[in-house]
Amino acid sequence: MPRALRAGSRAVLTAAHWQALRRQADPWVGRRLRDVIAADDARADAYSLRVGPIYASFARQCVDAAATEALFGLARDAGVPDALRRLFDGAQVNASEGRPALHTALRSGLGEGPAAIEARRLALAGRLGMDRLHASVLASGVTDVVNVGIGGSDLGPRLAVDALRDFHDGRLRVHFLSNLDGSAAQHLLRTLDPARTAALLVSKSFGTHETLLNGAILRDWMGGSERLYAVSANLDRTQAFGIASERVLPMWDWVGGRYSLWSAVGFALQLAIGREGFEQMLAGAARMDTHVLQAPIESNMAVWHALMSAWNRNALGHASHAVLPYDERLGLLPAYLQQLVMESLGKSVRIGGAPVLGATVPVLWGGAGTNVQHSFFQALHQGTDPVPADFIGVVRPAHGHAESHRALLANLLAQSQALANGADAADPQKGYPGDRPSSLFLLDELTPHSLGALLAMYEHSVYVQSVLWGINAFDQWGVELGKQIAGELLPALADPALQASDPVTRALLSEIRARG
């Protein structure tokens, strides 16, 4: 491998590294994945790992020993073990905002720097606050709680509440309201009783337009702020909104929104599954943290996942990635990962501002099997562009329909095999090209613990990818411009005397005014 450069305390890969990696893909031209798999009895074991409740197989990735060695070399040259240590210890990994990213301190005791120690102290106090508020919500006699938030203040708790539906304790019903579209509020509120509903406004900044508008709709509908609760890092704004400070749970600038499920942002999950369940989810994430921080890169699940992503993106040139959970309860996982992965890695400049040296994040999408087999799988099997995929299955179901579960697992195994191996046919229209790479994760069962471990694995993979690419996984400047323009256009939608400066927007505005 070429020699890495150094930028401050970070190792930086060079263009020569990426060129060398691309050369590793040359032997794959004309090579069949099915032949590679068939020729090596040891491959299934050699390309798999287990961490706690999760077994991961990378055997159906288009990699061989030389490619994986090159990838490990890349990880070493990028300083991945050191970067992971820096993350856990509370180094300022979010350089553009001058902050650490200490989501790991919310669930594990691994970081050693002063920032990590202080974060753990605050996290513990935060957990006590969650317990106190949980008791107060239960004592208030409400039956329903609406989590009002968007992005990281919605997707994580929404996924976890949905995925862990078998663990709901039945004491409170939890709902989610995120979209600015008033029809979301209208349809939800129709199903609820204002006298028996509490609203939990979750917003790190408490400046997010969607959340403030929806929060105001709920406040009006409930006839006051008596049953309003909040999770935020901005106490001035929660107070200005009329939420008493004893009903506000803390958030901190050292936790990114899309990494915040483990904080009070996950309060809706605690309300749904109880304190013990929430603790188990944290413990599952901590189990993965320990593995990722301590395992060598060659046997590190998150590093493997990250390296396969970089291989597919940078060596094989695949521009999209599918997430395919074969479990109805994980149906929201692709939406959650879209924010985690694409908001974290959708960058074209490196830390410090230089352009990246190759492609970064692929488009991430997906859906739950087997439903998706009957929608977009045709394109996965026979489309012109191979789409690398993550399959996720659950070994032991939480229902008694054994035959359905066997069929679900058979489909999971079949699809990843068919994509990799393909099948020849005399009629080209009926042939399957194969060589479509995938990873497969098997959870022993879907529990708070295994979900926590799985999500932590993805978080760490994202971070490792950001280290390889030299980008900041913890900022999201790209979302600001649209928000700013929307703010400028808002008055023009209320006042016909006002005009937009952009000619196309002006024409569209006239059309809206003419028809509105």
Active site residues: 343, 374, 483
Question: Shortest approach of ligand F6P to residue 254 CB, angstroms?
Answer: 14
Among residues 479, 486, 490, 508, the one that binds ligand F6P under rule CB under 6 A: 479
The conformation of residue 94, written as its DSSP 8-state character, comes to: B
Tell me, what amino acid is at 330? L
Whole-number Å distance between alpha carbons of 259 and 106: 10
Nearer to ligand F6P, 7 or 335 (CB): 335
Within 251-270, the residues that bind ligand F6P by CB under 6 A are 257-258
Strands of 54-57's sheet in order across: 48-51, 54-57, 438-445, 389-396, 320-326, 363-366
148 scored as a contact of ligand F6P (CB under 6 A): no
Please identify which residue in the block is written with the tokens 């060589």: 435
Stretch that binds ligand F6P, among 145-153, 163-171, 176-184, 494-502 (CB under 6 A): 145-153
Question: Shortest approach of ligand F6P to residue 387 CB, angstroms?
Answer: 26
Within 210-239, the residues that bind ligand F6P by CB under 6 A are 211
Which among 118, 117, 143, 106 has a CA at the least distance from the CA of 231? 106
Structure tokens at 408: 């679900």
CB 178 within 8 A of CB 150: yes
Structure tokens at 500: 């937009």
Nearer to ligand F6P, 21 or 160 (CB): 160
Question: Shortest approach of ligand F6P to residue 198 CB, angstroms?
Answer: 19
Nearer to ligand F6P, 439 or 476 (CB): 476
152 scored as a contact of ligand F6P (CB under 6 A): yes
How many CA atoms, within 13 angstroms, populate the side-chain half-sphere of residue 257?
20
Structure tokens at 24: 């590793």
103 scored as a contact of ligand F6P (CB under 6 A): no
The conformation of residue 224, written as its DSSP 8-state character, comes to: S
Please identify which residue in the block is written with the tokens 């030299």: 470
Stretch that binds ligand F6P, among 67-75, 98-106, 146-154, 284-292 (CB under 6 A): 146-154
Whole-number Å distance between alpha carbons of 10 and 419: 38
Nearer to ligand F6P, 343 or 435 (CB): 343
Please identify which residue in the block is written with the tokens 């613990």: 449
Strands of 248-250's sheet in order across: 173-177, 144-148, 197-202, 228-232, 248-250
Phi, psi of 113 (to 5 degrees): -75, 165
Among residues 102, 106, 150, 462, the one that binds ligand F6P under rule CB under 6 A: 150
Q: Give me the sign of the Cα torsion angle 295, 301, 302, 304.
A: positive
Binding residue count for ligand F6P, defined by CB under 6 A:
14
Question: Shortest approach of ligand F6P to residue 258 CB, angstroms?
Answer: 5
147 scored as a contact of ligand F6P (CB under 6 A): no
Among residues 107, 204, 219, 436, the one that binds ligand F6P under rule CB under 6 A: 204
Q: Give me the sign of the Cα torsion angle 264, 265, 266, 267.
A: positive
476 scored as a contact of ligand F6P (CB under 6 A): yes
Among residues 79, 151, 250, 437, the one that binds ligand F6P under rule CB under 6 A: 151
Nearer to ligand F6P, 148 or 301 (CB): 148
Question: Shortest approach of ligand F6P to residue 340 CB, angstroms?
Answer: 10
Nearer to ligand F6P, 263 or 465 (CB): 263
Residues that bind ligand F6P (CB under 6 A): 150-153, 203-205, 208, 211, 257-258, 343, 476, 479
